[in-house]
Every structure is written in structure tokens, then in C-alpha cells.
Structure 1
């Protein structure tokens, strides 16, 4: 059936006019150009966010919301540490920088690239004091609660007396009249997380050896992975830093944030696109010129590549609305593949110079079509990976191949009709190579030869495959240079570990249950800090005590305000007339509670609000508020940010048996997904081999189809063995590359299986095709991005082995 369809299509092509075909091709290219231009004008953009390539995790709604909240809170933050010899200079430099950044924002009509410029908030403590003071009867620190529980009133009186006679104490007559034991100030101090940083004159300070670092924080108005936003943000930042450097030349700087990783990734990708793309293009041009010694094949090669790239960009933008920089890096390999059709056309013309361009296209049409379909299916296999970026690569390259294929079918019959210089020399070289392979194959067809060949292949495969390791860590997807990672590491140390990507998600069926759960988690985290498993954490339990804890603290203070108030007032020398007022205030506070709703109205509360996941924030697709169902009671959630994690496994172990507390580690989760899809991709490759065997059996018969499929299968095994012998770990990107090895390798096998009497022309075409492909993917193996390196290395090995093995199909037939 497939053969009949190809025959009918071939006959239709022979009967159609080359001029009409060229007109159709020109109309298609013009339409693609106009549509692509329209897409760019309507907001299509270049994407450089490496996170956009990551797989989508299948999470429950609360976990998904938590991940989005954490990413939104931590994303696009920029941290600058200005390090000076003394505190005065550091503070002055930080203030100057903040003024410059603020001035740039105002100068841009309040629309600067960086916003929310800050350091330490000196008014925060005062605002918190005003909020919490009315609830002082329901707040106790752990030592205060212990003293009241053991009825050790004397220790509390001694602490208050010490504050009274301390010249730098916080006691005053107004506070004593409302809080005689001065319990509230200690509770206010307990709100601040323990840290090595301090504040002075509104600037966040930290010591770095004998120097002082002042920290300035800003947030990008747009994503740091938007190339235009990157440029605007780094420009504004550099202008401010230049001003600081001019005024304070001895000040050194540390920088951290997604902006600097994004810049490094963008610069690397742009550099690789230009270098690898140019090298691949020049290599292809050199190949065409050396083989055909004519300008026309060279021009048509450029036309073929250009039309492929045009359709690749158009299709990708139409499907995704954006083009990832890494897609363009991978897409440079398209140059080496799209030109294959041109090679096969001109090699056939060299072999039979009397045949017209239209007849040559008709002659190679069935084989080229089958080769295009198998290569396109290989890219479809890559598109099944859970990576939006890899799906883009698959769409980009498959569309590019379509553009090259359509150019061959519709444009070549008219454009490629000019005569070629004699091609006897390259064809003769191809013939000699085939003759030597034929002689070798005759030796291999003997029982001893076959046995030695099979044994050598078997030993190589077993030795390599047994040493092959796997590595699915997504951190190898993109590795920033040390110029970015080292300053960030130093700055994190200054900020007591900063905040990591991992966090705790605490769930509960109600608001009160959630607050109580958070209170049970905090001591576990404190113990982790004591055992140096963790540097710090940010939890709402510090700011939002549960009603249960507030009631307990209220009851404990009853002995102060209802039974021993006379003793306290006398011990501190306070007027007894304060007693009725204090008792009345205590009794009036019985039904007053600190609540999330009230706290989140504060500025400090708004900063911490993303850590609170209330059920009314989650809505159904119909827009209704999400409510509890049977079996789905955990509607409330809270995020506990973690920083300075030094032992993630020990930290996970702490919460494995804790109900409704989950350590969210997106890096580990995505790595697990990568491992799953790595196995799935290898299974898909095996399935593709079986399907190809059945498909080719319709055209060639089962025996010949087995040989055709065996070539890319053996090439894949040898590639994996080589990776094992060289110590390169197996990842999803190796597996995806093997799919493409199959797609391209089958093309070579098909051309040799269909060669008939034109073996020399096919050998020359496959040689040029392999050279162009190795140029493209071999260059990718030198990429600084690990994922691209793995992809290019695997393709280079696979195509190399396929090139060596595929001619044996033809020589075996001759023998």
C-alpha cells in the first residue's frame, strides 16, 4: 500500500510542471515569511529562562500553589553586597546606590527595570510593636512560660529589675504601667530570626572578616529571563554601581540573583549560536564546493538551509509563541541535516549527468520521502519528552526538515537544472571505499570472520554497558560559570545561608490546626540547626501563635495579674494604684486573639503573606472557591522557607513520619521525572525499531528490513558502550539523542538498501551527509551547556558508527 502511494505520488510529480511547482514553493515561503513577521509583531519573543525547559511536575493543587508562591517570592531578586573597610563607608556606599537606583526608576516615569529597592526596614520593629502590644497578655517566650509554669516569679522580677537599672534598657514609666514585668519586649525581640546580620541607619550589615558588608536588595519589574528585561536591569544596576565605584573606589562588590545566571546563560547561548552555526554553515559550504565545484549547488544548498530555518521558526512560534535560546543552539544542527537532501540529489546527478533535474527528483522521491518520514518520527519521539524546551527542539527540527524536503520536491526541478562539472573523482573515491568494504565483507561472510566480528562487537558492548552509569540531576542542565556562583556563595554565607529552593509545606484541615502544626515543626527545625543540618528557616509560627498557645500563655499570666500582682508591684517599687487598671486590661484581653487576617494587613505581614495558603485563594475552573470534600480535608497550607541546607537527606528523614508535613524538593522531583522519561525514551526507541522493521518489510521483505534496522540499532548499542568506556553518564539527553541516531541512521540504511546500480552516488551522498551531520552535532559536543554537550556527543558517536556500518548493507548484497 505504501509502495503504491509513493508510485502514484511520483507519477503526479513527473507530470506536473516545474514552473508550477516553483510557484507553489515561492508562495509557501512568502506565506511563512509574512506569518512569522506577524507573530513577531504580535508579541512572539526569544526565551532564555532555563526553567522553561524543565518538565511539568504532576502535583496536587496545594503543592502546585506552594511551588508557584515560592518561585514568585524568590524570583527576580537581586542582592548586592558593598564591602568596605569600615561600617561608615559601607553604609554611605549602600545609601548612594539605593539613591541611584531609585532615581533611575523615577527618571523612567516610575517604570524602572528594578523596583522595591531596600535594605533594612528600621520602622518594621516599631510597627510590629504597635500591632502586638494589645495582645501582650497572650504572648510569652519559652523561658517566661517555663518560669510561670514552675511559679518562679522571682526570676522574672530579677530580669525586670535588671532592665530598670540598665542605662541601655528598654524600660520606661509608660511601659511599666502596662507591663510591670517587662515581658513584652522580650517577645518582640523573639520575632527576629537569629542571624549574623544587623541593621544600622536603615542598612543591612554583616561582617566579612575585618571588613563590613552592606546589603542592598532590589526586584526586577519583569522576569530576569526576558532578554530585554535583562538588558534594562543590568544597565540600571551597572550605572548605580559605577556611581558607587567613582565615589568609593576601595569598595568591592558581591552580586547574586537569577539575573546574573540568566545573563550568563544568554551570553553563552548567543555565543554558541553564532560560533557553532557559522562553523556548521562554513563546513557545509566547503563540502558542497569540494564535491561539486559549482556555484549553483552552493546557492541551492543555502536556499535549502534558509527555507528549512524559515519553516522551523514559523512553526515553532506558531505552536509555542516563543523561541527558546537553547532551541536555537540545538537548531544549528539542522543545517547539517537539512542539506542531506541536496547532497543526495546532486550525487545522483553526478552519477547520471544526462538525467534532468525533474527526473532526478522523481528517481530519489520514494527513498527521500521515506527518509523524511522516519527522521520526522524520530523528532516526534523527542517531542514526547516532558520538556517544553525539548518539545520546541523537536518542532523546530521537524519543521526545518519539512522545509528542506519541500524545497527539494518543488524548487529543485526548475532551479537545479544547470549542468555540473564532471564528478568522476569524488565518485571514484566513493567507489574505491565501497570496493574495500566489499572485500572486507567477503572475509566477514566466512564462519570465522562472522564469529570474530560478532565476538568483537559483543565484547565491546558488554564491557561498555556494564560500566555505564546514569545521571538525571537537573543541575547539570545549565551550569553557571564560577564568576557567577562564587560571589553568590559568599553572599549567601553573609546572609546566614539565604533561602534555598527546598521548603516545607505544612497542611491542615483548619486555620487553627495549621498554626498548631507549625508550632510543632519549629522545635524540629531548631534541632536541625543545632545539629548543623540547616542554617535558618522562616516560619509563620514566629509571628502567628495558635489560639491554643495564646490561651495557655494567657492562663499562665493569670498568676501574675490575679494572684501575685501586689508582690510584683511592691518588688519593683511601682504604685499600687496601677493594680485595678492592669487587672482590667488583662480581663478585657481574654477574647482578643492574634489572627492571620489581622497580621497580613501589616507591611511585615504582606511580605510574609505568600507563605500562607488559605483555601479561598484556590478556585475551581468555574471560578468557585475550593472547599473541603470528603477525603480532601487538607485545604489550608503554610510554607516554611529553609536556608543553608547542608544535609538534605537528614532533613527529609525528620519529616518522613510527620503527618501533613512535606519537604518539597523540586530539583529532586524533576530529576526523578527525568529518570522516568529516560527509561521511557529508551523503551520508545525499542518500539520505534520494531515499527520500522514492520514498515520496511512491506517494501524490502523481512530479511532485508532486518538488516536496514539492525544498522542504527547496533550503532545505538555501540554508542552506549562508548559512553560507558569513556565514563560519560547516561541521561535523558543521551536517550533523546539516540532517538535521533535512529532517525538519521535509518536514512543512511534506506539509501543503501535502495541504491541498486548507483552505489557510488549513494556512498558519496552518505559520506557528505555524515560529514555535515558530524560537523553540526560534533560542534554541539563542545557546548558549555551540559545538556547540549551530552546531546551532541551522543549524536556524533551514533552517526559515526552508522556511517561505518550502513555501507555493509550494499556490499553484503553484492557479495
Structure 2
């Protein structure tokens, strides 16, 4: 089949092929222009690379609510030895952000002074349905006398919150204690409307690398919070927000140079990731391009092969970008980082063409193209097969990498077949010296093999596999999604400091409480409260925020109302007398109590009020897609997620949502699936090759990348590296690229010196490209590049042995 296609192509003239290639590139350019004009874009949002995990509708809504609340929030801490200086800095920054940050930031605040007033306005009319747990227990246990004594002490306390108006409506002063119970417990104080925290042994944020000082005197941190408009992972949004913040900080530094600034939030992680990715695209791509160009020049000593090689690379990158945009409507920045490796792979076909021309100087470009057609066709099939396996990963970003690189290789293949017969028809300088070097290398390998008999081969193979097996047994798995990106230490340190000041802050993990009705949900929240308190006591979490305090169930409110009946129905006269109040207050108090019967707090009235609007995202109503009610319980300062899961495991109505953990589990499953796909890809390739070669030689061709993968895993095991999905994906490419080398040797029919030179150049360019990826600061890219660097090195060393087997199995 392949030979027949080669024969058909051989009948077409070089000019006709070139016209077809020009037509192909023209169509791609027109499609690219159309896509760009219609809004195609480059995406830098790291979240866009994450797996799409299917959850039930209620969980999906809860995840969306929490991500909306946390994704674009940022926290600023203004640190000073003087409390007033810290407060002044916070106020100045807030004023500057409000002035220049319109359309960029909203909800710029520190302490919300109006929230307590709003809560008081809403809850006071429901005071007869409210009791703290201590108050309820006292009334249940008949401890009314003690409650009267406590109220009497408050009446005569000079610093009491009691007023004549409050006493007239709440003689035992129960309501203020209920209002205080609503406030979240935190170690922060409020002064002049600013949240203030104390910090001991502060590490200067001005110099991130500074060694922590052991200064025992505390520093004061004034905390400001804001919410950015737009995604923090959008490059344009990042530029706008960072510009506004920089302007505010610069002005602040002019006023007070001693102020230190702590920053936390997704924005700062996203900016670091964007800068790192852009730098790596430029640096790695340029270095790879220079390296490949130098390699071509040294090998062929002619400008034309270099120019045509650059044309091959350029057309491949063009097609890769356009096809990715056509399928996904956007191109992820990390796809470009991975895609820089395409430069080292796309050029392989060009190397094989020119090395074959050096080896057969009398053959025309058209004849050389026809001669290498079977090998590069099989190579393309296996490479695309490998990239297709990568495309099965759950990461949209990795699916983009698969499309990007596969389409780029197809373009390189088309360019070789259609454009080279005309463009590469010029004469080349003689390459005898390079070909002799390749021939000498092969001869040394043959000499080495000649000293090994069947027993020697068996012993060498068994020893290698035993050593590799030992290395593989030392491998451990690490599927943590955090391997996708590692932020700079100074960002992590500042965020950690601010989280500690905010009593642990709010984590991405949270509890989702379910109920078949509003009241069932509220009762479940009430039942969950003691378990949350226990988690805090056991230091499993630093804090928790639940709607339970704000939305007691009707049953709880009815119980509280009934318990207060002892006060307002049975003992009111005694209470008024003991407290020395006017007897005329009794009728109005009794009337107010009776009128409140059945006037319950409900979710709708509270969440639609000014007091409850801020909590509305934590409450989920039924919809067309799901029938249950849901409530989100925010958690902060989680210390052990696994133990926390066990802590709530017996509560059927509670679900601990851990998206990071769920994605990590998916990564683990796909890591295992990828390794299975690798084995299947090798089996499919062996079947395909058996149509071209006999079955023994086909198995030998596959054995080269298979052994390379085994040896690579062993090296990773011995080096103490943990196996991740990205290692497994790279092994797919070790197969896809490495099998090309053994294929060309199998096709060479003992005339291998041209193939050896081409394989050397191909391996060098690929190692150069992926070796550079191994130096990436992004862990995922580093793992990917390192695995390919090791794997391709092994395939280069093993592939020449195929020439021996071609003699044995011919």
C-alpha cells in the first residue's frame, strides 16, 4: 500500500507538488486570519488546563459559588512597628484603589462596620426566637434566677451595653449575647474601621530572600481586602490590576518608606505563572531554534538546507497554531511551551531527506523523497498515534498539545513530500566526512556485537531487565495537581503569613450540606455544628463558617420561643420587680412576645435582607436540574484533609468537597491509563509494522522504544523521582519519536550510514528541545522534558542495533 502511494507520488512533477503545497499553506493562512478576526485568543488561565470532573448538579453549583468567591479575591497586609502608621497605610491604599481602581476592583474594604448594624436591624424583631446554647440550657435547667442575677449585674455595670430602650424590650438582656454569637471568632481587632493583627518575627516582604529575623517586638498588620473584576488568569486583566496596585503602592512608599506590604490571592500566583510561561516560550523556543539551525549548518555546510529547514519549522508551527485555534477557539500559553518541542521533532523528516541526499548524491530530490516515503509515512502514523494517546488525558491543555504537535508533524510531512522535490533540488556540498563518521560509529557497534554470542546477549538482556526492575520498584506515585505550577517562594511566604493572621483564611475545600427541604437542611446544619466545633478543637481546621448561627431551623426557633415563655408569660412580673423596672413595661412585653408567635426567620427573608446578602452565595435553592437544598460551610486552616474526611464520613448529609483532591485522583487514574495506552500503542504499532516487515523484525523495531521506556522508568526510580501523569505522557512520546529511529534503520536495508547520520541529528535536535524543557521552572513541564531527555537518549543508543536484526531476520 505504502509502496503504491510512493509510486503514484513519483509520477507527479515537482512543480505540481509544489503548487499543491502552496495551496495547502494558503488555505491555512486564510483560516488563521479568519479565526484571529473572529476572536481567537491566547489563554493563560492555568485552570483551563485542569480536568473536567463531572459532578452532580448541586455540587457543580457549590463549586462554582466557592470559586467565584475565592478566585478573584486578594488580600493586602500593611506592616509597621507603629499601629497608627499601619492603619494610615491601609486607609491610603483603600482610597487610592477606590479612586483609580474603578472597573478593576470592587468590594475594597477592611472591617465592615455596617454589617453589625444590618444584623441588628434584621434580628431584633426575631429576638424571641433566638437563644444562645448557654441561654437555652439555663432555661431548660430552671436557672432563671442566675439569669436574672446576670442581668442585674449588667444594669449596674458602668461599661454595660444596656440602655433604657433595650431593657424595655429585652429585660434580661439576652439579645446582645445572641448578636455577639453571630460574629465569627477571630484574633483580629478593629480600629478606625481597619482590621488589625499582631505579627511577631516578621520576615520582610521587601527582600523576599531575606533570612527571618528573631525580633521579639510585635509588628502591626492592617489588612485590606478587595475583589478583582474579571478572571485573575486573564493576561489583560492581570496587567490592569497590577498597574492599579503598583500605582497605589508607589504612592504609599512615597508617603512612608518603612511600610512593608504583604500580598495574597490568585492574582499574584497567576501573574508569576504568566511571566514564567512567556519567558520560557521565548527562551526555550529561541534556544531550540538556534540549536537546530546550527546543527543543520554544521551537517550540510550550505545555506539552502538551513533555509528549507526553517521553512519546514515555520510552516509546522503555523499549521499547529491554526489547527489548535480552529478546534479549541483558543491557544493555551503552556501549549506553546510544550509546543516548542515540535521544533526538534518536525525537523527530523528534513534531516532524513538531506542525509539520504548526501548518501546518494546522484539521486534527484524527487527520487530521494520517493525513497524515504515509506519510512516517514510509518513514522508519521506512529507519532500521531502517540499524540492521540496524549489527547486522551483529561487535561484540555494536554489535548491542545496533542492537536498542536500532531498537526505540526503532519504539516512537516506534507512539506517534505510536496515542497522538497522542487525547493531542495539544488546541489549539496560533499558530506563524505560526516557520512564516514556515521559509518565508523556503526562499525564499532557491529564489532561490539560480534563479540557477543547468544548466551552473552541473554545475559546482558537479563541483567539489564533485573537492574531496571529494581529501579522501577523504587518508583513512587505523586498525582498532586499542585505539580502543575509552583509559585515563587516569596509569594507563598507572604500568603502563608496572611492566612495565619486571618485565622487560617478560607481554603478551597469546603463542606456541602444537603437537605430535601429548607427545614431539613437547617436541621442538618444545626446537627453539624458540634462536629465542626470538635474539628476545631482537634486542630483539624482553624475555623469554619456555617449559616447555622444565622438561620436556625423553625424547630429550633419554636423551642427557643417556648423556653422564653417562662420569661414573658410565667415570671415576667417577678423579673421586672427584681430588676427594679417599671410595672407598666409588662403588658407591652407580653404583647410583643405573643405577636412573635410563628414569626420565624427563614432563608428567603434573611438572604434578601441587607444583613444576609453577603451570605447568599452559601445557600443553594432547588432548580430544574436538581431538587435538593444545599448549604456551603467554608473551612479554613485545614491541617489534614484525609483525617478531616474521616471526621465527617458518618454524616450522610455532609460531603467534603475537595476539587484539588478529586482532580489528583483523576490524574492518578489517567496516569495508569496512559501506561496501559502505551502498551496498547506498541501492540498496534507492531501489527502495523508486521504488514511491512516480518513479525520478528517488527517486534525488534518496537523493542527499542519499549526498552527505552523501561530504562527511563528505572532511572527515575533510582533518582528518587515520583511518577506523575506527565512522566507517563512523556513516555508515550518516547515511543512515538523513538520508534522512528528504529523504523528508518529497518527500512535502510543495510545501507545505514545516511540513516545513522539522520538519527544522530534527529536525536540531537530532540534532546536539545526536550532537554531545555527539563530546565523549566514549571514542575509539570520539567517532568515532561526530563523523561523525554532520558528516553530519547536511550532510543538513540539502542536503535542502531536494528541493523543487526535486519540481517538476522531478512
What TM-score does the superposition give when structure 2 sets the normalisation length?
Answer: 0.96
Question: Greater shift after overlay, 523-532 or 36-45?
Answer: 36-45
RMSD over aligned CA atoms reads: 1.3
1:15 to 4, 11, 14: 11
1:186 to 172, 177, 186: 177
Contact 1:716/1:742 (CA < 8 Å) preserved in 2? yes
CA distance, structure 2, for counterparts of residue 514 and residue 302 of structure 1:
65
1:737 to 730, 733, 738: 730
1:760 to 753, 760, 772: 753
Q: What is the match of residue 479 of structure 2?
A: 472
2:564 to 557, 567, 570: 557
Residue 671 of structure 1 and its aligned partner are, at CA, apart by: 1.1
Q: What is the match of residue 787 of structure 1?
A: 780
Q: What is the match of residue 45 of structure 2?
A: 49
Q: What is the match of residue 124 of structure 2?
A: 133
Secondary structure of the residue aligned to 1:652 is: helix
Secondary structure of the residue aligned to 2:691 is: helix
Q: What is the match of residue 203 of structure 1?
A: 194
Residue 46 of structure 1 and its aligned partner are, at CA, apart by: 1.8
Q: What is the match of residue 264 of structure 1?
A: 272
State whether structure 2 residue 465 is matched by structure 1 residue 458. Answer: yes
Q: What is the match of residue 333 of structure 2?
A: 325
**Counterparts in 2 of 1:265-664, with a 5 A limit?**
265-444=273-452, 446-616=453-623, 619-620=624-625, 626-627=626-627, 635-664=628-657
Contact 1:612/1:638 (CA < 8 Å) preserved in 2? yes
CA distance, structure 1, for counterparts of residue 468 and residue 565 of structure 2:
79
Question: Greater shift after overlay, 687-696 or 28-37?
Answer: 28-37
**What per-residue deviation string (whole Å, max 9, x for no partner) do you get for residues 339-389 of structure 1?**
001000000100111111111111111111110111011000000001111
Q: What is the match of residue 92 of structure 1?
A: 88
CA distance, structure 1, for counterparts of residue 430 and residue 158 of structure 2:
103
Q: What is the match of residue 77 of structure 2?
A: 81
Residue 10 of structure 1 and its aligned partner are, at CA, apart by: 1.6
CA distance, structure 2, for counterparts of residue 602 and residue 45 of structure 1:
41
Contact 1:504/1:664 (CA < 8 Å) preserved in 2? yes
CA distance, structure 2, for counterparts of residue 448 and residue 808 of structure 1:
17
Question: Greater shift after overlay, 208-217 or 34-43?
Answer: 34-43
Q: What is the match of residue 630 of structure 1?
A: none
Q: What is the match of residue 790 of structure 2?
A: 797
Cα gap change, 1:603 to 1:306, in 2 (>3 Å):
farther
Secondary structure of the residue aligned to 2:451 is: helix
Residue 86 of structure 1 and its aligned partner are, at CA, apart by: 2.6
CA distance, structure 2, for counterparts of residue 520 and residue 422 of structure 1:
86
Question: Greater shift after overlay, 339-348 or 83-92?
Answer: 83-92
Runs of 4+ in 1 over 6 A off after TM superposition: none
Residue 603 of structure 1 and its aligned partner are, at CA, apart by: 3.5
Q: What is the match of residue 813 of structure 1?
A: 806
Residue 407 of structure 1 and its aligned partner are, at CA, apart by: 1.0
CA distance, structure 1, for counterparts of residue 579 and residue 414 of structure 2:
95
CA distance, structure 1, for counterparts of residue 193 and residue 11 of structure 2:
83
**What per-residue deviation string (whole Å, max 9, x for no partner) do you get for residues 41-98 of structure 1?**
3222222222221111122111122111111111111110111223322222111111
Residue 814 of structure 1 and its aligned partner are, at CA, apart by: 4.0
CA distance, structure 2, for counterparts of residue 208 and residue 767 of structure 1:
60
2:744 to 741, 746, 751: 751
Secondary structure of the residue aligned to 1:7 is: helix
CA distance, structure 1, for counterparts of residue 312 and residue 154 of structure 2:
85
Contact 2:380/2:413 (CA < 8 Å) preserved in 1? yes
Contact 2:516/2:629 (CA < 8 Å) preserved in 1? yes
CA distance, structure 2, for counterparts of residue 114 and residue 423 of structure 1:
64
State whether structure 2 residue 54 is matched by structure 1 residue 64. Answer: no
Residue 401 of structure 1 and its aligned partner are, at CA, apart by: 0.7
Contact 1:514/1:636 (CA < 8 Å) preserved in 2? yes
CA distance, structure 2, for counterparts of residue 787 and residue 23 of structure 1:
42
Contact 1:78/1:259 (CA < 8 Å) preserved in 2? yes
Residue 757 of structure 1 and its aligned partner are, at CA, apart by: 4.5
**Counterparts in 2 of 1:709-748, with a 5 A limit?**
709-748=702-741
Residue 35 of structure 1 and its aligned partner are, at CA, apart by: 2.0
State whether structure 2 residue 109 is matched by structure 1 residue 118. Answer: yes
Secondary structure of the residue aligned to 1:34 is: helix
Contact 2:686/2:698 (CA < 8 Å) preserved in 1? yes
Residue 650 of structure 1 and its aligned partner are, at CA, apart by: 2.5
CA distance, structure 2, for counterparts of residue 345 and residue 699 of structure 1:
21
**What per-residue deviation string (whole Å, max 9, x for no partner) do you get for residues 689-738 of structure 1?**
11111111111011111111111111111111111111111111111111
**What per-residue deviation string (whole Å, max 9, x for no partner) do you get for residues 254-295 of structure 1?**
000000100111111111111111111111011101100000
Q: What is the match of residue 204 of structure 2?
A: none
Secondary structure of the residue aligned to 2:476 is: coil
Contact 1:434/1:811 (CA < 8 Å) preserved in 2? no
CA distance, structure 1, for counterparts of residue 696 and residue 472 of structure 2:
28
Unaligned runs of 5+ in 2: 201-217
Unaligned runs of 5+ in 1: 621-625, 628-634
Residue 116 of structure 1 and its aligned partner are, at CA, apart by: 2.1
Q: What is the match of residue 632 of structure 1?
A: none
CA distance, structure 2, for counterparts of residue 813 and residue 650 of structure 1:
59
CA distance, structure 1, for counterparts of residue 159 and residue 401 of structure 2:
66
**How many pairs are equivalent?**
791
Question: Greater shift after overlay, 583-592 or 265-274?
Answer: 265-274
Contact 1:114/1:236 (CA < 8 Å) preserved in 2? no
**What per-residue deviation string (whole Å, max 9, x for no partner) do you get for residues 98-128 of structure 1?**
111111134xxxx2x2222111111110111
CA distance, structure 2, for counterparts of residue 133 and residue 144 of structure 1:
17
Contact 1:547/1:593 (CA < 8 Å) preserved in 2? yes
**What per-residue deviation string (whole Å, max 9, x for no partner) do you get for residues 512-545 of structure 1?**
0100101111111111112222111111101111
**What per-residue deviation string (whole Å, max 9, x for no partner) do you get for residues 465-492 of structure 1?**
1211111111122111101100000000
1:24 to 5, 20, 23: 20
Contact 2:750/2:803 (CA < 8 Å) preserved in 1? no
Cα gap change, 1:768 to 1:38, in 2 (>3 Å):
same
What TM-score does the superposition give when structure 1 sets the normalisation length?
Answer: 0.95
Contact 2:280/2:776 (CA < 8 Å) preserved in 1? yes
Secondary structure of the residue aligned to 1:782 is: coil
Question: Greater shift after overlay, 76-85 or 123-132?
Answer: 76-85
**What per-residue deviation string (whole Å, max 9, x for no partner) do you get for residues 397-452 of structure 1?**
111111111111111111111100000011000000111111122223x1332133
Residue 200 of structure 1 and its aligned partner are, at CA, apart by: 2.4
Residue 37 of structure 1 and its aligned partner are, at CA, apart by: 2.7
Contact 1:139/1:553 (CA < 8 Å) preserved in 2? yes
Q: What is the match of residue 679 of structure 2?
A: 686
Q: What is the match of residue 208 of structure 2?
A: none
Contact 1:505/1:664 (CA < 8 Å) preserved in 2? yes
**What per-residue deviation string (whole Å, max 9, x for no partner) do you get for residues 131-160 of structure 1?**
000100000011111111112112222222
Secondary structure of the residue aligned to 2:589 is: helix
